[in-house]
């Protein structure tokens, strides 16, 4: 017996402003939803309809058991988020759905949401222990989880298409839509530009990156020249290790100081091997 219908939602759902319609459809039909990293927060991390974030690692689609679904609806999903050739290779029965077609979708109503496929549990078994580990340098999952706890309501964390963006996409516990903002495709200066735009309307943002490239530096210079305020946290193997408490204090002081503040945090990126043992090599953004 198949898994029924599964929805895989991409960044187009957010861009086209149809999040409410998707949530109504899911509430009405009890359909499970995977999201791409560009659509994190469609459902809170512990919502039964939330099946997990997909497309970041080679084996995500296999562990998601999409080939066991009666049909997979690709909703607002860019080719860069999930290449359709991968679905074909796995024998997945799928079709693309325009975001303006949500209200007209005919989906069988389930009595309860499906049991989450293997992807969610396999990743949780690795990530959940990391969330509470006090090792130094800090592991990236703990760094992401602490940020999620620290950030005030309506604030967000953003990163470019780099290893920090991967870790946020894979391990940031989403409380609400927009709490983490990641690019669909590599776009130089994406994160700094998002933070600058937010600062102009009084919204709090934290940029997480592994280095500051020339484009990002030019955006930061622009932000300083107009008196914008946000924090840039550089995660590095070489930076001074900090405890969770000291890192949170450092962030708090930086946010209260105003202006564009750059911080450094020692992070153990070798922990990617723990995730790769479960879901294969990282495949997003050519990392």
The DSSP secondary structure of 147-177, one letter per residue, reads HHHHSPTT-EEEE-SSHHHHHHHHH---SST
Query: How does strand 5-9 pair with strand 32-35?
Result: parallel
pLDDT of 112 strictly over 90: no
Nearest residue to 192 (alpha-carbon basis) of 175, 174, 176, 205 = 205
Look at residue 2 in the predicted model and tell me its pLDDT: 62
Rounded to 5 degrees, φ, ψ at 253 are -60, -40
For the cut 70, the answer to whether the pLDDT of residue 106 exceeds it is yes
135 in the same domain as 94: no
Pinpoint the alpha helices (H) of the chain: 11-15, 19-29, 60-63, 84-89, 118-132, 140-150, 163-171, 190-200, 214-225, 244-257, 272-279
Structural domain ending residue among the three candidates 56, 90, 116: 116
What value does the mean pLDDT take over residues 44-56?
Answer: 90
Asked whether residue 211 falls in the same domain as residue 107, the answer is no
Q: Is residue 279 part of a domain?
A: no
pLDDT at 182 (0 to 100): 96
Sort residue 41 into left (φ over 0), alpha (ψ -120 to 50) or beta. left
pLDDT reported for residue 111: 84
Mean pLDDT, range 198-225, rounded to an integer: 96
218: CATH: 3.40.50.970
Same domain, 129 and 270: yes
Tell me how far apart the alpha carbons of residues 256 and 151 are, in angstroms, rounded to a whole number. Answer: 13
Given a cut of 50, whether residue 150 has pLDDT beyond it is yes
**Does any domain span residue 284?**
no
Domain boundary among 73, 91, 116: 116
The answer as to whether 280 is a domain residue is no
**Dihedral pair phi/psi, residue 68, rounded to 5°:** -100, -5
CATH of the domain at 19: 3.40.50.1220
Nearest Cα neighbor of 181 from 44, 62, 38, 46 is 38
Does the pLDDT at position 178 exceed 90?
no
Q: Give Cβ neighbours of residue 173 (< 8 Å, ≥ 6 apart).
A: 45, 131, 144, 145, 148
Range of the domain at 110: 5-116
Task: Answer yes or no: do 258 and 128 share one domain.
Answer: yes
Closest to 165 in 3D by CA, of 132, 136, 194? 194
Ramachandran category for residue 178: left, alpha or beta (phi over 0 → left; psi -120 to 50 → alpha): left
| pLDDT given at position 47 | 87
Confidence band for 108, pLDDT divided at 50, 70 and 90 = confident
Arithmetic mean of pLDDT, 67-91? 95
Q: pLDDT tier at 104 (50, 70, 90 boundaries)?
A: confident
| Average pLDDT over every residue of 66-84 | 95
Q: Is residue 156 located within the same domain as residue 239?
A: yes
Tell me phi and psi for residue 44, to 5 degrees.
Answer: -60, 150
Closest C-alpha to 242, from 275, 268, 269: 268
Q: Which pLDDT does position 1 carry in this prediction?
A: 45
pLDDT digits (tens, 9 = 90+) for 233-269: 999 999 999 999 999 999 999 999 989 999 999 999 9
Q: Answer whether the bond into residue 137 is a cis peptide, omega within 30°.
A: yes
In angstroms, the CA 179 to CA 158 distance is: 8
């Amino acid at each position: 017996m198949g898994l029924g219908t599964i929805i895989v939602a991409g960044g187009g759902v957010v861009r086209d402003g149809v999040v409410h319609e998707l949530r109504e459809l899911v509430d009405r039909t009890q359909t499970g939803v995977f999201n791409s990293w560009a659509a994190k927060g469609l459902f809170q991390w512990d919502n039964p309809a939330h099946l997990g974030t997909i497309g970041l690692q080679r084996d995500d689609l296999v562990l998601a058991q999409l080939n066991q679904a009666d049909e997979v609806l690709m909703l607002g999903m860019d080719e860069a988020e999930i290449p359709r050739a991968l679905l074909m290779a796995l024998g997945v029965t799928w079709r693309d759905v325009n975001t303006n077609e949500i209200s007209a979708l005919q989906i069988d109503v389930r009595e309860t949401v499906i049991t989450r496929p293997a992807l969610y549990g396999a990743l949780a078994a690795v990530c959940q222990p990391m969330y509470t580990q006090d090792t130094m340098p800090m592991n990236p999952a703990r760094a992401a989880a602490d940020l999620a706890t620290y950030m005030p309501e309506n604030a967000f964390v953003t990163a470019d298409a780099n290893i920090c963006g991967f870790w946020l996409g894979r391990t940031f516990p989403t409380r609400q839509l927009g709490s983490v903002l990641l690019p669909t495709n590599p776009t130089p200066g994406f994160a700094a530009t998002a933070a600058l735009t937010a600062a102009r309307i009084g919204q709090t943002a934290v940029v997480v990156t592994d280095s500051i490239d020339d484009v990002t530096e030019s955006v930061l210079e622009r932000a300083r020249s107009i008196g914008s305020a946000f924090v840039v946290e550089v995660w590095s193997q070489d930076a001074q290790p900090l405890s969770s408490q000291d890192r949170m204090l450092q962030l708090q002081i930086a946010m209260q100081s105003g202006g564009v503040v750059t911080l450094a945090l020692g992070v153990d990126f070798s922990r990617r091997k723990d995730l790769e043992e479960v879901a294969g090599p990282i495949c997003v953004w050519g990392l």
